[in-house]
Amino acid sequence: MEAGEGVKPRPMKAFAMNGAGNAFILIDARDAAAPLALAPREVFALAQAHPFDQLLALEADGTADARLRVWNRDGGEVGACGNGARAAAWLMFQDSGRSTLAMSSLGGRLNARRLGDGGAEVDLGPARLDWREIPLARAMDTVRMDYSVDLPGGGRLEGPGAVSMGNPHVVFFVDDPDALPLNVIGPGVEHDPLFPERVNAGFARVLEPGLIRLRVWERGAGLTKACGTGAAAALVAACRQGRIGREAVIRADGGDLPVRWTQDGHVHLSGPVELEGEIALPAGLGVAFR
């Protein structure tokens, strides 16, 4: 029997989901005959109809259980999305009944395991700490960067940490993340020439041992209720500056995200996932199935 013969393929479906308020549309295209070819304008149009922070797609992959692709709502395809990886893993766990799986992505391989409460934890891979890996436009210490941002009305944020979790992050440690006008300062940081691939900007405070408050301005998405790779970057940056240990709960606007930075350098992310329901896709996004 030829591969796929006699087996009815899954129709392409799309689901509205969120991870701690981080909003997604996830397209299950594992039976598509070819990778999705989405123009930025199509992603942007879908975001107007069904608001999301990231568009996710699961596609077939011969080296893993699926390939995870990620687009920000401005239409740009990016390498990583921590909460999106958890949501995709959760959906596949529900579909298969398995307890572990692996996904490939532009940002690297993602291993996931089912948690006892029905959630999913994802190994996001190693934190990348060299300035070339972030990347930055010039050589610089990434523990406390020689970089500052002026605040409207006076004051300055200085000495952030930089981390790549398959996508670039800069994390400022501040007195009160909730008091900052991120819609004003976020775009300037995102588009600063120091960051040739733009950057996700985190603003954090260690509230107590094991607890960090975090707000994130995401490149291509803006202010979001949660950011999984941002949570991972905040823990790593705080630990490197001696502010906290290697494990903490990151408190985002949409919920709490437990993060572990293990001795092998890998960062593990868990937290809540919610399936909001299935949505209809525009006819133009249809593909041929195997």
Q: Which residues are catalytic?
A: 81, 227
DSSP state of 284: G
* 232 and 168 Cβ atoms separated by less than 8 Å: no
27/30 Cα distance (integer angstroms): 9
Helices then strands, counting H and E runs in the chain, come out as 4, 19
Quick one: how far is CA 162 from the chain centroid?
Answer: 16
Residues near 240 by beta carbon (within 8 Å), at least 6 away in sequence: 129, 143, 161
42/29 Cα distance (integer angstroms): 16
Angle made by CA atoms 93, 96, 100, in degrees to the nearest 5 = 50
102/261 Cα distance (integer angstroms): 19
Amino acid at 132: R
52/256 Cα distance (integer angstroms): 19
250/89 Cα distance (integer angstroms): 20
